[in-house]
Amino acid sequence: MTSTSELAQRYRAVFPSWLGPLHGEAPISIDHGDGGEVWDLEGNRYLDFFGGVLTTMIGHNQPDVTAAVQAQAAKVMHSSTLYLNEEMVALAEEIAAVSGIPDARVFFTASGSEANDTALLLATSYRQSNQVLAMRNSYHGRSFTTQAITSHSSWRSSSVSGLDVQFVQGGYRLRSPFRDLDDDAYTQACCDDLEQILDMTSAGNVACLIAEPIQGVGGFATPPDGFFGQMHKILEGRDILFISDEVQTGWGRTGEHFWGYQAHGVTPDMLTFAKGVGNGVGLAGVVARADVMDTIKATSFSTFGGNPLAAAAGRATLKYVLDNDLQGNALRMGERFRQRLDPLIADVPWIAEVRGRGLMVAIETVQNDSLHPDAAKAVALADGCKERGLLVGKGGLYGNVVRIAPMLNVSEAEIDEGVDVIAATVAAIG
């Protein structure tokens, strides 16, 4: 039987140098999973608080999703949007209904990057402009276009682009020049900066602002509630579209809301989704107001977008999330997690901040009592948790943030187990 270390060698030999497994020197394999747990090839068990980057959202081998995928695989796996298919149309209707966007239209894609590419195509066509705003510390994908709106230099592989992009202050408060201001003053300072960017750098007629309500790869950086609502007032006055990238924040993960944008008192012109909605099956897309979606006149088509297999997984996942009020569970379990964890790590001098919402929690590591990033501590924390049987992720501008994102249906016992492991690892690091 193949061992994990053999697999690591084969991985390194066949994949690009810029692709790397977590836990660099001692990566783990995932052979199978059940609910919130996974097992490696050697049979070691881990509690999964990352879900392959927030993508296995309601548990591994979730019976409803597995049954829906198996039944659909036995019927037809792919048809494309050239043909009608009940699963594909029904999922689009269901997503339109929960999107909160009036007169919504849905376009399915195969990845979050392709969804954001599509949103940019729509916005730049609708507004007849290549000028785009994005937030500092953003990540929107690995495609050529979405790299141009990513402002996270360790994840940005090229600056070549046909877009004219300006980056706006505000998503990442801890390292903002305005960090010492209170919520309202912080928001106002960022809005003033936005107005100045528009006045000073734009050639009029900006197409859109694209933003993650909570920055995912950026380390679950969370602006004050209402932040994007205030920004939107400025955008609206200049007919600039607002795109909410909900790839990580969607489907109730933030607990208080179903979508991240809802913390801000604003309805976006478009939202993009991916990751969790297929519970691991590739499914992504864009929801837009009809007049924005229908702006393209040429025929367009995404071969894998909305294929019946992915649509069946998506329908089963969404139904389970709604029927079982997993947004409510995210709120309750997120609160339990923070209530238990925060006092245990409150006085640790190398933790600058614990932040996030619901079941999106981040720990930012720094050199003692400073804001100087300490990536080695984040590595030690993630690796130490793994050694103790808990999978968490990493991220952040300097690779100095540990990201924790349990399944939306995580149990109290699992939350408590996760907290115990994190607290023990923090204590061991010292």
Shortest Å distance, C-beta 276 to ligand PMP: 11
- Token reading at 420: 């115990």
Residue found under tokens 């297999």: 309
Shortest Å distance, C-beta 112 to ligand PMP: 2
The residue number with the shortest CB distance to ligand PMP is 112
212 or 353, CB closer to ligand PMP?
212
386 or 403, CB closer to ligand PMP?
403
CA–CA–CA angle 284, 65, 320 (5° rounding): 85
Q: Which positions touch ligand PMP (CB under 6 A)?
A: 53, 111-113, 116, 139-142, 212, 216-217, 245, 247-248, 274, 284
Shortest Å distance, C-beta 88 to ligand PMP: 19
Shortest Å distance, C-beta 216 to ligand PMP: 4
Give the neighbor-by-neighbor strand order of the sheet with 351-357: 351-357, 360-365, 401-404, 393-395
Shortest Å distance, C-beta 108 to ligand PMP: 13
Shortest Å distance, C-beta 346 to ligand PMP: 29
Of 100, 53, 87, 55, the closest CA to residue 271 belongs to: 100
Shortest Å distance, C-beta 115 to ligand PMP: 7
Shortest Å distance, C-beta 139 to ligand PMP: 5
Shortest Å distance, C-beta 1 to ligand PMP: 31
